[in-house]
A and B are shown apart, each in its own frame.
Chain A
């Protein structure tokens, strides 16, 4: 089978699972009206499948900052941070993130994916060990592969299993970077971070926490699970993204270790790409200020989360173990998930469809992402739609 025939075979497999014309993956969005509404084909649709947790994509402060940046610095940097792309805004954003986390060094990357790729592959190399939660995001797996280090996995959210694997490593545990996520993107569950910190401290390993889904959502000031669990000062590296609660695109790695700065000279995903455009950087800086002062936004978000989670639970849907900005209805087969997804879209609600192998245990997910910008009436509308579709899973 040649390269093109392999692609044809993959396409046939995909079409067998998902009929053509359905657009369950990569659905065309024609117009975006607000943080929560858009047009798909000729239908006005409620967004319940974005990562816009604080609803900041249309915040006037962010729009104004982005407009001003375009006028002052142009549409793009056209170069790497290592060359001509190291603007004052990029450096200011790094300082602001460092200050926000009380760290000593921050590196901003062009995407969140690259933040994990660049941080992990820069921190560990041949002869080192990366010990990652088995349910880690693809960007973590890819960063591990790029590093050339030995990659080991421990059972999802199981600090005892992590302990056992570090013990086996003996002295190599001191050359080990443990990697977990604050909030896992499939079922929305949190890492048992205090237990994990205790284990990694005992073995003298370092810990990286990816807070992509928890920044702005968890913790009094929105600094993520590290803040909520009270272990901010004991975590070595934190990565995250601008494309969720901060409403733009980009990523960062922040650390209490000043040595992080050296990654600017060795991390290929940092060096060999153009830096973020000035508009992205300035809207992110504005969003970070709103996130930091966003107690009301977080309260609104959590009110919406509680409202939806409790109603879906009462309807008898099988959900992830704990309420959070990601609420996934777990169903037995891809066919059931597809029917619910279609039914919601027909009722003007867009959610994410997650099929195996992305869904755990060979099941399928109808994944909702909640925003502070959703109104209680919108959440009620979603609950009504799920109630009407309940019989599809019984």
Chain B
């Protein structure tokens, strides 16, 4: 059975795929800004969508140490451990 983190990562990657487009390879270690070409505004807007998808609140100040897809997944796991 998949762990909570794996479930979150899978849903997050599917979400990022929709934003980044079909040609982009979404890997857990991918850097959100450098590799997925998301600027800070796109990241903040994406956070609102992720908040809705997981029904959680993600303060944008908590993104200061988030650079990669897996770091974002860990943050979501921390904010919503019941998933």
Contacts and interface: CB of A to CB of B under 8 A. Distances in A.
7 contacts: A150-B57, A150-B62, A152-B51, A152-B60, A165-B57, A168-B56, A168-B57
B-side interface size class: 10 to 19
A-side interface size class: 10 to 19
Interface of B: 39, 41, 44-45, 47-48, 51-52, 55-62
> By CB atoms of chain B within 10 A, which of A129, A134, A153, A169 has the most?
A153
SS class, residues of chain A in contact with chain B:
mixed
A385 to B, nearest CB: 32
B61 A145 contact: yes
Contact of A150 (B41, B45, B56, B61): B61
A129 B62 CA distance: 12
A134 B48 contact: yes
Contacts of A164: 52
Given A165-B51, A357-B39, A134 B45 contact: yes
Nearest to A161: B48
A295 B51 CA distance: 45
A257 interface: no
> By CB atoms of chain A within 10 A, which of B39, B55, B60 has the most?
B60
A288 B41 CA distance: 37
A150 B59 contact: yes
A152 B60 CA distance: 6
A154 B45 CA distance: 10
Interface in A130-177: 134, 144-145, 149-155, 164-165, 168-169
Contact of B59 (A134, A151, A154, A357): A151
B45 to A, nearest CB: 7
A169 B57 CA distance: 7
Nearest to A166: B57
Given A152-B51, A153-B60, 19 more contacts: A129-B59, A134-B48, A145-B61, A150-B57, A150-B59, A150-B61, A150-B62, A151-B61, A152-B58, A152-B59, A152-B60, A153-B48, A155-B48, A164-B52, A165-B51, A165-B57, A169-B57, A357-B39, A357-B41
Given A165-B51, A168-B55, A151 B60 contact: yes
Contacts of B47: 153
A144 B56 CA distance: 20
Contacts of B51: 152, 165, 168
Interface string A85-114: 000000000000000000000000000000
